[in-house]
Amino acid sequence: MLIDKQNIEQFIPQRNPFVMIDTLISADPKEFKSSFEVLENNIFLEGDILSASALVENIAQTCAAGFGYINSLSGSGEDQLGFIGAVSKLNVLHLPINGDTLTTEIEILNTFDKINLIQGFVYNSEKKLLECQMKIVLA
């Protein structure tokens, strides 16, 4: 694990109650991986079911943590903000429930200047819950 739950907010711009990532498991210039436990106080729970918008936000925050971690290794000392430029090819297969632990995997498909095209997948164990592509623009 690269970043634990106690330090994740140092790498993402979101603050509670909008934090949808617990740990950054791995990060390199082509892939990021994170984990997130769905808890009963999550603002995106509808009954016991976590909404699809929370999963999309989880993908975006995994990107933020991954890019933030990679940037911290460069030693520049400057924080980079990222913005979602577009979400496409969204496919919601299943939704998680309270108590599930999610694993999110990001593949960086293409980079042009400060625009990154990523493919994100959210899993509960081996079960794929959601996949999409995003354009992430780094400022």
- All structural domains of the chain with their residue ranges: 8-138
Asked whether residue 79 carries a pLDDT value surpassing 90, the answer given is no
Which residues are paired to 82 by β-bridges? 138
Task: State the Cα–Cα distance between residues 123 and 105, nearest whole angstrom.
Answer: 8
pTM: 0.96
Domain made up of 8-138: CATH architecture: Roll (3.10)
**Residue 128: how many other CB atoms lie within 10 Å:** 13
Is residue 59 packed enough to be buried (19+ CB in 10 Å), middle (13-18) or exposed (0-12)? buried
User: pLDDT for 98-129, tens place per residue?
Assistant: 999 999 999 999 999 999 999 999 999 999 99
The first and second tokens of residue 84, run together, are: 């979602």
Which residues 6+ apart lie within 8 Å of 74 measured at CB?
A: none
User: pLDDT for 18-71, tens place per residue?
Assistant: 999 999 999 999 999 999 999 999 999 999 999 999 999 999 999 999 999 998
